[in-house]
């Protein structure tokens, strides 16, 4: 595959073609991904997002990786929906630390209609601080999507997690089509889509290819594509999964960049376990967004000052909010 081919936005990927990308010589794959990345982005800028859990634990779903599932004993303490004032205080800290996007997550199967006014107020108040807003609240109906869009929500996150074929090994309490329906509701409401998945859950390379194929064959590519490395949490069914080969993770980043050239590709969960060299290689492969600050919902994340030190050594600067908005 040529780098020119990788710069074309397309929605007709086959699994065979995606696997061919994965199995290129590593240096060729990274070269093509970096050339494609430079067509659409400043290669020395990264978008910083902060993620806050606004409602923790007691989720009825059975996602086998998730410490927030009520089905698993992970020692996590349940918390009710935060008050708006608590969310605003956290958003102020995130902005002062350099984040341009503030993401709010709630451990729900889907929000109750009675919760929408509170989260809508959170959206309005966070936007008033000059931050982009993102939420992940589970499945959304058409009406709920419209209400969040009316409140000004910029992004809605809803991951596909894995391929359609492997999905049943991970989750049984909602279907793959349920997830696709939520993404369609979000897109139809006018919000931007944040959708990616998790690797290292015992899936095969064909499943990582299948995940990216599903995302890239959506009618519009997600504007933000988080690639998570499984964080193995004691008490969850996936606590003892084997490590994914780091080079396979980098390949996944690079293939995501080639298939969705205009999307932000985000290093998400699992960065705590990545050394500096692996993170630098991920940036070379086309990652240009990270979750920033010390916690992702309930799991650890590298400390903010450590991130800034690494970015400084690499000559990478945080992207300004205005730059993010103008480029999309």
Active site residues: 59, 63, 66, 103, 134, 194, 266
**Whole-angstrom distance, CA of residue 310 vs CA of residue 188:** 39
**Whole-angstrom distance, CA of residue 230 vs CA of residue 219:** 28
How long is the chain?
A: 328
- What does the radius of gyration of the chain's CA atoms come to, in whole angstroms? 18
SS3 193: strand
236-266 in b/e form (b: 16+ CB < 10 A) is bbbbebeebebeebbbbbbbbbbbbbebbbb
**Whole-angstrom distance, CA of residue 293 vs CA of residue 68:** 20
**Whole-angstrom distance, CA of residue 96 vs CA of residue 102:** 12
- The two beta strands, 197-199 and 155-157, are unpaired
């Amino acid at each position: 595959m040529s780098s020119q081919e990788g710069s074309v936005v397309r929605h007709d990927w086959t699994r065979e073609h995606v696997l061919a990308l994965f199995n290129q010589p590593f240096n060729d794959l990274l070269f093509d991904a970096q050339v494609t990345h430079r067509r659409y982005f400043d290669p020395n800028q990264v978008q910083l997002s902060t993620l806050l859990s606004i409602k923790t634990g007691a989720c009825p779903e059975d996602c086998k990786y998730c410490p927030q599932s009520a089905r698993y004993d992970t020692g996590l303490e349940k918390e009710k929906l935060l008050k708006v004032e608590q969310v605003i205080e956290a958003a102020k800290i995130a902005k002062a630390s350099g984040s341009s996007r503030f993401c709010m997550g709630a451990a729900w199967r889907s929000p109750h209609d009675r919760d929408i006014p509170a989260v809508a107020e959170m959206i309005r108040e966070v936007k008033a601080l000059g931050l982009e807003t993102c939420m992940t609240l589970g499945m959304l109906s058409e009406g709920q999507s419209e209400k969040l869009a009316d409140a000004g929500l910029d992004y809605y996150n809803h991951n596909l997690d894995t391929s359609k074929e492997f999905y049943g090994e991970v989750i049984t309490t909602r279907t793959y089509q349920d997830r696709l329906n939520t993404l369609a509701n979000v897109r139809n409401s006018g919000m931007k889509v944040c959708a990616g998945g998790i690797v290292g859950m015992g899936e095969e390379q064909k499943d990582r290819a299948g995940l990216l194929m599903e995302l890239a064959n959506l009618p519009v590519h997600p504007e933000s594509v988080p690639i998570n490395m499984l964080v193995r949490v004691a008490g969850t069914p996936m606590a003892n999964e084997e490590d994914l080969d780091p080079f396979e993770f980098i390949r996944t980043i690079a293939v995501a960049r080639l298939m969705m050239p205009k999307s932000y590709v985000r290093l998400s969960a699992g960065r705590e376990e990545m050394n500096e060299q692996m993170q630098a290689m991920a940036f070379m492969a086309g990652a240009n967004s990270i979750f920033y600050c010390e916690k992702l919902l309930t799991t650890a994340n590298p400390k903010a000052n450590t991130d800034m030190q690494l970015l400084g050594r690499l000559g990478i600067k945080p992207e300004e909010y205005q730059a993010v908005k103008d480029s999309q």
